[in-house]
Amino acid sequence: MALVTGGSRGIGLAIARALVADGVQVAITGRSAAHLSAARPKIEAAGPGAVETLQADMRRYDQVTAAIDATVARFGGLDVLVNNAGVGIFTDVATMTPDQWAEVLDTNLTGVFNACQAGVPHLRRRGGGYIINISSLAGKNPFKGAAAYCASKAGLNAFSEVLMQEVRYDNIRVSYVMPGSVSTGFSNGDETKGADWKTSPDDVAGVVLDLLRSDPRSIHSRVEIRPAQPKK
Ligand SMILES: NC(=O)c1ccc[n+]([C@@H]2O[C@H](COP(=O)([O-])OP(=O)(O)OC[C@H]3O[C@@H](n4cnc5c(N)ncnc54)[C@H](OP(=O)(O)O)[C@@H]3O)[C@@H](O)[C@H]2O)c1
């Protein structure tokens, strides 16, 4: 039983498909009902697992707890939480509005706190589980015009390492994955652009599956994945 936040598009959609293909029952969240409806058949087709779509804005604690409760009610528990929902707004600090700053930090960092705070008791109830946070190489490689995004992902890395230490004796493993450029529609981009050299969302999904299958004796706590041959 898994919850993938932001599972209606891009990397989250690929992760949900890979989990369902592996026979897992998966709930996905997203803001847009239209995107969730479009994603459902794509995930179902991966079978044999099942999928539930839940409209929830990760910035809203009440909506996050409702989504987690709905997942537990539908599937009987929660074993895996993949915090993938994220946004990027790229502009210099001097031109960034407070609302844009808040949108990035509230989604990429507070949204993960919301899901972990609400989700951990359910994982404990199951005797353990796995939390995988989708961060970014931007969390360790800051670049101009990306203050909010880089800060949110650097914060997410620190958050993940703290949480890992807090819940490890509950048999809950915590990892964070830091992709480089992935071919999705992230930040209103064109998912087909650069698809010949960018990392595929399916490759990130493969990392998530590998983490879940890894021996519980160890935690691959931080994983980096990047294009093998970035455009020169
Ligand atoms: N693409 C890259 O190059 C790249 C590289 C490194 C890391 N990442 C990280 O990977 C994650 C996924 O990115 P992506 O490329 O797959 O992006 P994407 O194609 O834009 O998909 C983002 C997903 O997150 C959902 N979402 C956004 N804000 C949300 C909110 N407040 N509440 C609930 N759902 C929300 C979207 O739902 P709606 O459809 O409803 O908007 C969508 O399902 C992000 O955390 C991103 O920072 C991406």
45-57, pLDDT tens digit by residue? 999 999 999 999 9
Residue nearest to ligand 1 atom 42, measured at CA: 6
Is the Cβ atom of 61 under 6 angstroms away from ligand 1?
no
Is the Cβ atom of 8 under 6 angstroms away from ligand 1?
yes
pLDDT for the residue numbered 183: 96
The DSSP-derived string for the chain is -EEETTTTSHHHHHHHHHHHHTT--EEEEES-HHHHHHHHHHHHTT-SS-EEEEE--TT-HHHHHHHHHHHHHHHS---EEEE---------TTT--HHHHHHHHIIIIIHHHHHHHHHHHHHHHTT-EEEEEE--GGGTS--TT-HHHHHHHHHHHHHHHHHHHHHGGGTEEEEEEEE--BSS-GGG--TTTTTTTSBPHHHHHHHHHHHHHS-TT----EEEE--SS---
Residue nearest to ligand 1 atom 8, measured at CA: 136
The closest-lying atom of ligand 1 relative to the alpha carbon of residue 107 is: 31
Domains (range + CATH), the chain: 2-225 (3.40.50.720)
Q: Residue 172 Cα, ligand 1 centroid: separation in angstroms?
A: 24
Kindly give the confidence (pLDDT) of every residue in the chain, 232 residues in length, as a single tens digit, with 9 standing for 90 and above: 999 999 999 999 999 999 999 999 999 999 999 999 999 999 999 999 999 999 999 999 999 999 999 999 999 999 999 999 999 999 999 999 999 999 999 999 999 999 999 999 999 999 999 999 999 999 999 999 999 999 999 999 999 999 999 999 999 999 999 999 999 999 999 999 999 999 999 999 999 999 999 999 999 999 999 999 999 8
The residues assigned a catalytic role are: 149
The closest-lying atom of ligand 1 relative to the alpha carbon of residue 186 is: 20
Q: Residue 55 Cα, ligand 1 centroid: separation in angstroms?
A: 14
Query: Is the entire prediction scored with pTM above 0.85?
Result: yes
pLDDT for the residue numbered 232: 83
Is the Cβ atom of 10 under 6 angstroms away from ligand 1?
yes
Indicate the average pLDDT of the chain: 98
The closest-lying atom of ligand 1 relative to the alpha carbon of residue 7 is: 43
Is the Cβ atom of 139 under 6 angstroms away from ligand 1?
no
The closest-lying atom of ligand 1 relative to the alpha carbon of residue 106 is: 31
Residue nearest to ligand 1 atom 44, measured at CA: 86
pLDDT for the residue numbered 81: 99
